[in-house]
A = this chain, B = another copy of it.
């Protein structure tokens, strides 16, 4: 097979923008890179690998000659178009929630379960939710040696997880409130000020500037948010632990990009901080930033825009055997989305090239 042709579907969104950057800066193994978006964005010219490419409207023919198509589009668009791309011969790598939990679609994080990508009866591969992905490289490395059994997770999720509208909203709210040095001290004053100053509806269900919002996704049985259920189900599937116990609380915070997670993880085997440091320092896409006495731990603002999963605040739980508490940061648009999809595409491309 010659150099494979790649289609990026959803090339104009928050993840699509990062995706174009990623395929332009990583090793170039691609033939054509075709940009695809909704008819609204078709005809726009965007840069990929330093060259101008005209965006094409999503249609069955855009997949002709394409070997691999990466989809970053809403669930319902994926549901319709991913099977069309797959039927036309492309390996479809899908970022949406549509196919992730289907038993005949692998859910892949290349550092953790690369083998799963090869078993794709429907020609579809899913890439996980950004919140799950933010911790997978780190937890996968620890699991490989110590056998993970329980996860209790609280998230600190960036606004760009809700797309370009989420990012714009945080900037809008901060601009609207900046300079008011009394804001955030009286119940409801933030909402009232925003209602007065901003005409557009927010993609978030509450003010996000000077606030945290304990909700991400849609309503699920038992009062769970869909993002919390995804974190549980996807972690089980990626790590290959059907009985993994998971509880998560997902919270949106006024950070532009990079999700953080406070993770309480119990393993089958005894594990010390030194053990975890050894494993994490050796994991190729994980960066250990853990020297709290010297003020070293990751924060979103310090690591945003980069590829690795950052881990700090590793502590042996005082009261829980075989358990670590730790803090993880990962760029939700890169490893959490575009980068993981690009890595899967490279995995598939290399497998085809070597076949």
Name the B residues within 8 Å of A189 (CB-CB): 301
Give chain A's interface residue range (CB within 8 Å of chain B).
35 or more
Given contacts A256-B184, A256-B210, A315-B222, contact A190 B245 (CB under 8 A): no
Q: Which of B214, B224, B246 contacts A327 (CB 8 A)?
A: B214
Is A199 in the interface zone, CB < 8 Å from B? no
Q: Which of B185, B299, B305 contacts A257 (CB under 8 A)?
A: B185
Binding site for B on A (CB under 8 A): 150, 152, 154, 156, 168, 170-171, 174-175, 177-179, 181, 183-191, 205-207, 209-215, 219, 222-225, 232, 244-249, 251, 253-257, 260, 262, 264, 273, 290, 292-293, 295, 297-306, 312-320, 323, 325, 327
CA distance A223 to B313 in the complex (A): 7
8 contacts between A and B (CB under 8 A): A171-B181, A211-B301, A214-B327, A215-B295, A222-B318, A223-B290, A251-B327, A254-B254
Query: A295 touching B205 by the CB < 8 A rule?
Result: yes
With CB as the reference atom, state the residue of chain B lying closest to A292.
Answer: B223
Chain B contacts for A174, CB-based, 8 A = 174, 177-178, 209-210
Q: How far is the CA of A191 from the CA of B303 in the complex (A)?
A: 11
Minimal beta-carbon separation of A256 from chain B (angstroms): 3
Question: For A156, what are the chain B residues with a Cβ–Cβ distance below 8 Å?
Answer: 156, 212, 251, 253
Q: A302-B188, A304-B184 are in contact. Are A317 and B262 (CB under 8 A)?
A: no
Is the Cβ of B223 less than 8 Å from the Cβ of A301? no
